Amino acid sequence: MNNSDILFLYDAKMTNPNGDPDDENRPRMDYERFRNLVSDVRLKRYIRDYLEQQGKEIFVSKINGETVNATDRLDKLARDLGKKLKELTSDMVLDRLIDVRLFGATMPIKGADGAKGSSMTFTGPVQFNWGYSLNEVELVESNSITSHFSSESENIQGAIGKDYRVYYSLIAFHGIISGYRASVTNLSNDDVALLRKALVKAIPLLATRSKIGQYPRLLLQVEYNDAETIIGDLRDFISISTDAEGTKIREINDYKLDVRELVEKLNQFSNRISKLYVWQDEALQLIAGEKTGLLKELLPEGLGSKVEEIK
């Protein structure tokens, strides 16, 4: 497998993309730049939950609805394989657990009866950094919400909490796939195809009360023809364009996404690109100079022939 860069965009309207438990569960923010932040852990949780729904076995999961430690999780895996925990090998783990093949894991194993423990460590070939909004984001003034149930058994009234949301946030993630690390964790092309499917489908399908109102808008995987090439953070080459400076963005029709620099950068690396996997919501309006249209329509002919649309 060769290297890839990934660009993934989704938007959030009147929702809380990633609450901060240390700040009354307010949406994570860079208040100096008014940018909404979303952790890579939040994105990976969407992906893991979707893969589990598709019948794939994952490491970071519960057992019978209960949160367990790494030792208990591996012990269950060993028992499912008809093995003892000490007989579990790295190949067995990688063969069964798709999230370890994708994202890696550190698996501390407790020793029995006070004996020294051990661990398995895998560095994942797929890594995302924190997502951030491309637009300036405003928070909705919190409304107090009440629960029918009290917070303590001796309380009579229901518990009161805060409900923080953003008006609108276009959130962008950058990720990479390391060809070298993929060979170490046995990551397959089928696994990567499932990753693409999860990115497109997971967020709206796994909506909760605080997360409903989020939809994928663009996914681009730039697959290179070697295990050396990486362009870098593709978010550096896109920006939001509005009809008037200072426009407060409240919905997807309030702006266009300028991808001129992205198209130019991809064209510079054209000889090193083997394939472009693309999915785009047609509601997201793209511009490149004087041209408007879907990303596949804005690419020069040499790159356009390398596009494979994600279904």
247 is a domain residue: yes
Quote the number of domains for the chain. 1
SS3 per residue for 59-110: CCCCECCECCCHHHHHHHHHHHCCCCHHHCCHHHHHHHCHHHHHHEEEEEEC
CB 242 within 8 A of CB 204: no
Map tokens 């000889």 to a residue: 271
Q: Look at residue 61 in the predicted model and tell me its pLDDT.
A: 85
CA angle at 112 for the pair 74 and 98, rounded to the nearest 5°: 10
Lowest mean pLDDT among 59-73, 189-203, 223-237: 59-73
The confidence band for 58, taking pLDDT boundaries of 50, 70 and 90, is very high
Map tokens 């939950």 to a residue: 49
Q: Look at residue 245 in the predicted model and tell me its pLDDT.
A: 82
Tell me the two tokens of residue 270.
């054209």
146 is a domain residue: no
Map tokens 């990479």 to a residue: 176
Q: Look at residue 154 in the predicted model and tell me its pLDDT.
A: 59
79 is a domain residue: no
75 is a domain residue: no
Is residue 239 over pLDDT 70?
A: yes
180 is a domain residue: yes
- The predicted model scores a pTM of 0.91
Measuring CA to CA, how many Å separate 137 from each of 33, 61, 95, 168, 211?
9, 33, 42, 6, 16
Task: Give the pLDDT confidence of 214-238 residue by residue, as tens digits.
Answer: 999 999 999 999 999 999 999 999 9
Mean pLDDT of the chain: 91
Contacts of 7 (CB under 8 A, 6+ apart): 172, 173, 174, 218, 219, 220, 222, 234, 235, 238, 262
71 is a domain residue: no
The domain in which residue 252 lies consists of 4-41+127-138+166-309
Task: Give the pLDDT confidence of 84-95 residue by residue, as tens digits.
Answer: 988 899 999 999
52 is a domain residue: no
Q: Look at residue 18 in the predicted model and tell me its pLDDT.
A: 96
Is residue 286 over pLDDT 90?
A: yes
| Cα–Cα dist 228/17, whole Å | 34
Task: Give the pLDDT confidence of 122-166 residue by residue, as tens digits.
Answer: 999 999 999 999 999 999 976 665 555 555 555 555 565 688 999
| Cα–Cα dist 228/3, whole Å | 7
CB atoms closer than 10 angstroms to residue 205: 12
3-state secondary structure of 38: strand
Q: Phi, psi (5° rounding) for residue 33?
A: -115, 0
Contacts of 220 (CB under 8 A, 6+ apart): 6, 7, 8, 234, 276, 277, 278, 295
CB atoms closer than 10 angstroms to residue 31: 7
Which element (helix H / strand E) includes 6?
A: strand 4-15
Task: Please measure the distance between the N-terminal and C-terminal CA atoms of the chain and give it in whole angstroms.
Answer: 21
CB 259 within 8 A of CB 288: yes
According to DSSP, residue 181 is labeled H
Is residue 96 over pLDDT 80?
A: yes
254 is a domain residue: yes
Q: Look at residue 151 in the predicted model and tell me its pLDDT.
A: 56
